[in-house]
Amino acid sequence: MKKFIFLILTLLFTFSEPALVHSATPSISFIPEFPLQGEPVMIVNENVKLADIASTTISGKLLKLFVYNDKPTAFYGVDINKKSGDYEIKVILKNGTSFSKNLVIKERKKIEEVFSIPKKLGGDTVAGQKSLVTSLAKENAVLNKIPTSQKIFWKEKFIFPLENPIVTDDFGYSRKTGGYTLIHKGTDFRAKTGTKISAMNDGVVSVANVARNYGKHIVIDHGLGVMTFYLHLSKINVKVGDSITKGQVIGLSGETGYAAAPHLHLSVRIYNVSIDPVKFMEFFK
Ligand SMILES: [Zn+2]
């Protein structure tokens, strides 16, 4: 009897496995299919197991893979200043075979708006503009050095950091301040002072600090290069090193730093490349 069952099982596996595993050839898909400069891309390896992949690269640069929706997946952040055009994504399997597909990056339309400096930061004077630019460079230098965990901290979808996400200022337009042009590398959401701000996903607090322009701000590392930035807060509830769960209230919104009115500025970075947070959220609809 045991031998008979074994035989049946062997037959079942022999005949069903090739159909399940080898019926479709491995391929690559992109979400969105044609990203703009400044947008995130989800690179999905189809019909292949993570364990069978030796490497996935973009223009020869290694991408870190994780399993999402049962598929080996990588995030890629298209820098807003990256040249539009074709970039080769190549997957090499451990069995020596490989396949590739070009990621086509489209040009983003440049939008420029005049933006003034609030009185508390010196107003629209040459001195005010200079100190804005030099202090921003210093703050960015600190935030560009945050290390990311090689372990992924999240499993499920990201969520918006506030209950009623109404965009007041989009990602990616140029703010002209006197002789300087600063790109808005995040999304602003309507939030009256004291609005609860929650973590977009599980992670670890990398930064909980106060700065001249970013005000009271928090950075959460979600692992494998994905970080979320919450700026201009009135209150910080967490400290560096804290493990955070998705939806946990990490602080309250405000208008500290370079903010003309109360709002939440949200940035999302993929390996230090700021991308459009609203586009990022479209992955998790
Ligand atoms: Zn902003």
What's residue 234's pLDDT? 98
Predicted confidence band at 19 (pLDDT cuts at 50, 70, 90)?
Answer: very low
Say if residue 200's pLDDT is above 80: yes
Say if residue 16's pLDDT is above 90: no
What's residue 227's pLDDT? 98
Q: What is the mean pLDDT of residues 221-237?
A: 98
Where is pLDDT greater, at 177 or 284? 284
Q: Domain residue spans in the chain?
A: 2-105, 112-284
How does DSSP classify residue 106?
Answer: B
Q: Of how many residues is the chain composed?
A: 285
User: Quick count: other Cβ atoms within 10 Å of Cβ 262?
Assistant: 17
User: Do the two domains 2-105 and 112-284 of this chain adopt the same fold?
Assistant: no
Say if residue 39's pLDDT is above 90: yes
Can you say how many angstroms the Cα of residue 162 is from the centroid of all Cα atoms in its chain? 17
What's residue 5's pLDDT? 53
Q: How far is the CA of 171 from the centre of ligand 1 (A)?
A: 8
Q: How far is the CA of 231 from the centre of ligand 1 (A)?
A: 8
Predicted confidence band at 54 (pLDDT cuts at 50, 70, 90)?
Answer: very high
Please tell me the least confidently modeled range out of 9-18, 129-138, 264-273.
Answer: 9-18
Q: How far is the CA of 104 from the centre of ligand 1 (A)?
A: 28
How confident is the prediction for the chain on average, in pLDDT? 92
β-strand partners of 187 = 266
Please tell me the least confidently modeled range out of 80-84, 136-140, 208-212, 218-222.
Answer: 136-140
Please tell me the least confidently modeled range out of 9-23, 190-204, 241-255, 269-283.
Answer: 9-23
Question: At a CB cut-off of 8 Å and minimum separation 6, what does 140 contact?
Answer: none
Which contiguous run of DSSP H or E holds residue 13? helix 2-22
Q: How far is the CA of 239 from the centre of ligand 1 (A)?
A: 23
What's residue 115's pLDDT? 82
pTM: 0.89
Q: How far is the CA of 280 from the centre of ligand 1 (A)?
A: 16
Q: What is the mean pLDDT of residues 52-63?
A: 96
User: Quick count: other Cβ atoms within 10 Å of Cβ 69?
Assistant: 7
| Contact assessment for residue 187 and residue 160, using Cβ atoms and an 8 Å cutoff | no
Q: Is 98 left (phi over 0), alpha (psi -120 to 50) or beta?
A: beta
Q: How far is the CA of 117 from the centre of ligand 1 (A)?
A: 13
Say if residue 6's pLDDT is above 70: no
Say if residue 114's pLDDT is above 70: yes
Q: Which fold has domain 2-105?
A: Immunoglobulin-like (2.60.40)
| Contact assessment for residue 237 and residue 265, using Cβ atoms and an 8 Å cutoff | no
Q: Tokens 């929650």 correspond to what residue?
A: 198
What's residue 127's pLDDT? 87
Q: Which residues surround ligand 1, an ion (CB under 5 A)?
A: 186, 188, 265
Question: At a CB cut-off of 8 Å and minimum separation 6, what does 194 contact?
Answer: 234, 252, 253, 254
The CATH H-level superfamily of 112-284 is Glucose Permease (Domain IIA) (2.70.70.10)
In 117-219, alpha helices (H) = 126-143
